[in-house]
Chains A and B, each alone.
Chain A
Amino acid sequence: MNKILWLSLLLIVSAASSAGQFRQILPIVTPEQMGDEERFNLLRYSLLPIFDRNNITEAVHQIAVAWGTGELGDWLSNNFLNRQRLLSTLTLDVPRDARIRILGIRGQRVTSQQVKPSDKGILRTTVAIALVQTQIEFTDPSQGFQRLTADVELALQFEERFE
């Protein structure tokens, strides 16, 4: 039950959700919906481990690596606003030696969580946000070493499958 098969991550900073362009209903459980199957599922869900906030920290660092290696597109939702514009700017306009350094991560928190049965067990989808202090570093040919700091809010979607 508690074995995590895989954990995937999706950066959804500008998307309402990974699945659509507008808000989706997060259902409130009612007695009328509570059949034997739902009761069994609730019991299974209650046995799942709490979402580990360290996942958020680790994800932010992986995104920073992807930013520097041109692989950020792998992490962006298809609904991410101006997705291609961001990626082309990184490729064509950002200096080749530019890297992003994570100075600090704070305010990590889960904003919503949905658990449902799937073909291979249980699928738990967690949306979390984090406030990240970033610093882009590169060497300008005329002005030398440059630092650009920013305080950004990232919205991240995690999917976990449990057997």
Chain B
Amino acid sequence: MRLRKNVAVVCLTLVLPALASGEAAQTHISGSNTLRLDHYGAGGDPAVSSYVNTGYHWYDDLDLTASHYESDFNKFEFRLNATNNQSAYHAPDLGTTVNSGSIQWERGDTAIPFRAQAGDYFAYLSPRTLQRNLKGAMLEIQPETKGEVNHSLQLFGGRSASDYRDIDLDNDDFYGLSWVIEGTEAGDFSVIAVRLDSDGATSFTPRQGVYSLAWSKELQLTSQNLKFEAEIAKSNSDIWNDTDGQYNPEAGFGYFTGITGQLNETQFSYGLTHERYSEHFRPAGGSVSSNQAQQNTFVNWGRDSGEQYDLRFNRMVSELESSNPTTTLLWQGSYSQPLEVVATGANLSLNFTHQTYGDQDQTYDERSIDGERGAESAAIRSVVRPRRAWQAQNK
């Protein structure tokens, strides 16, 4: 028997009012403080309770935002989020810590418009280079150019950590630059260079450089809005070699190409992508996996009546550079529609998934299909649920 109880005894939120002073220069301060006390109890066998830690747990969350506008072109912003956590459920560690904090200065009325930021920096450059929240500093300049072409150059450095308590000065130190050019006739471009220095305890490599060149171009072709995208990336990593007993430099390559399209004034969209990453392409701050290739295709159609159709195909080759790569084929489809059968509204959705996989050596015979190589699995799921207050979007 499992019995669980969750009682919020106190939930107190204080919201500071926004302040404004003067007409030219303005300062706004807003924030909230949430103090929450919960009591968890379990009857019966505690081993089968959802809440292992019973009793009282509390935390205090402080969130502050302050912005100061000297003019429309000169502004400062300060953000702080800190927690005093005495709850086993709110965060992994107990005690007081600053989760995030940043100071930003943005100025557009100088010869070179700039944005300077210290503290938390959202370094989402591309999946093949760096996608991390960093705690450090960033300087961005946007030199003015004639015509429609825009430039943005970011220089940054910082460490990857979920809060300021966890920062280890030796670990995961990223720094680099990102240069984006938008609005040229040939499309938009991105140049990225990222360097990692680490003691190797939290990363597979103590030193790594990742460099990429990316391009995208939107085209209006008859009634279709098309977008072409491509990125090619190279990494240089020091990787441990058991045979030599030392780190050896290894180069890796990765690339991505894709096209997505949408029919004008409709909710019909489609896409086709191809990506390939070599065995040693392992960007420490990126999101992609090494030694694999993937092709993805999707078609999505939404109707004004609320019906949604979605069909996707994925082919993935893993252990790409081994002598026996594994190929997985995956089909997925879904259909959903509103059901106007009750006053509050409901939604019906049907999903199917079909997957087969196998390798060249036919080592999956024990899970075979009709005695042939490979394995197969499939599932169909249907759900009826109350309609959401919010609308989800595939983009």
Contact = CB atoms under 8 A, between A and B. Distances in A.
Contact of B332 (A62, A84, A137): A84
Contacts of A50: 18, 30
A126 interface: no
A77 B63 contact: no
B180 A23 contact: yes
Interface string B174-197: 000010101000001010100000
Nearest to B191: A22
Contacts of A66: 392
Report the contact-size class of chain B (Cβ under 8 Å from the partner). 35 or more
Contacts of A23: 124-126, 152, 154, 178, 180, 190
Contacts of A26: 115, 152
B314 interface: yes
Interface in B88-109: 89-92, 99-100, 106-109
A106 B216 contact: no
Nearest to A135: B50
B124 A28 contact: no
A25 B142 contact: yes
A112 B122 contact: yes
Given A10-B395, A71-B349, A109-B81, A155 B106 contact: no
A135 B92 CA distance: 12
Interface in B364-395: 377-379, 381, 383, 385, 388, 390-395
Interface of B: 2, 18, 30, 32, 47-48, 50, 52, 59, 61, 63, 72-73, 79, 81, 83, 85, 87, 89-92, 99-100, 106-109, 113-115, 120, 122, 124-127, 131, 133, 140, 142, 144, 150, 152, 154, 162-163, 178, 180, 182, 188, 190, 192, 214, 216, 227, 229, 231, 256, 258, 260, 269, 271, 287-289, 294, 296, 298, 310, 312, 314, 316, 330, 332, 334, 336, 349, 351, 353, 355, 377-379, 381, 383, 385, 388, 390-395
Given A8-B393, A21-B231, A22-B231, A28 B216 contact: no
A14 B128 CA distance: 10
A8 B390 contact: yes
A162 to B, nearest CB: 16
Contact of B124 (A16, A27, A42): A16
Interface in A109-132: 109, 111-112, 127, 129, 131
A133 B90 contact: yes
B50 A104 contact: no
Contacts of B289: 82
Contacts of A127: 122
The 3 closest A-B pairs by CB, nearest first: A107-B99, A104-B90, A74-B392
A151 interface: yes
Interface in A48-74: 50, 53, 58-59, 62, 66, 69-71, 73-74
Contacts of A84: 296, 312, 314, 330, 332
- The residue among A77, A129, A131, A151 with the most chain B CB atoms within 10 A of its own CB is A131
Contacts of B336: 74
Given A103-B89, A137-B50, A10 B216 contact: no
Contacts of B115: 26, 28
B120 A109 contact: yes
B364 to A, nearest CB: 15
B176 to A, nearest CB: 12
Contacts of B332: 73, 84, 87-88
Interface string A70-97: 1101111111011111011001100000
A20 B216 contact: yes
Given A22-B231, A30-B144, A8 B83 contact: no
A106 B91 contact: yes
A25 B179 CA distance: 10
